[in-house]
Amino acid sequence: MSEGRIVIAYDGSENARHAIEVAATEIGAGLATVVHAWEPLSSASSRLAVYATIGGAGGQELAWERDQAQAKAEEGAALARELGFDANAVAIEGESPVVRTLVEYINEQRPRLVVLGTRGLTGLRGFAAGSVSHGVATHVHVPVFIVPPEEQTQAT
- CATH number, domain with residue 103: 3.40.50.620
pLDDT higher than threshold 50 for residue 156: no
Is 62 within the bounds of a domain?
no
Q: Is residue 147 part of a domain?
A: yes
CB 20 within 8 A of CB 83: yes
Q: Residue 60 falls within a domain, yes or no? A: no
Region 76-102: mean pLDDT is: 93
Host domain of residue 27: 6-39+72-155
Q: Is residue 59 part of a domain?
A: no
Provide the number of structural domains found in the chain.
1
Cα 132 to chain center, whole Å?
A: 9
Q: Is the pLDDT of residue 6 over 70?
A: yes
Distance CA 156, CA 152 (A): 7
pTM (two decimals)? 0.81
Continuous H helices in the chain: 14-26, 44-53, 57-82, 98-109, 132-139, 150-155
From 2-11, 25-34, 75-84, 127-136, the region with the lowest mean pLDDT: 127-136
- Cα(95)–Cα(43) distance, integer angstroms: 7
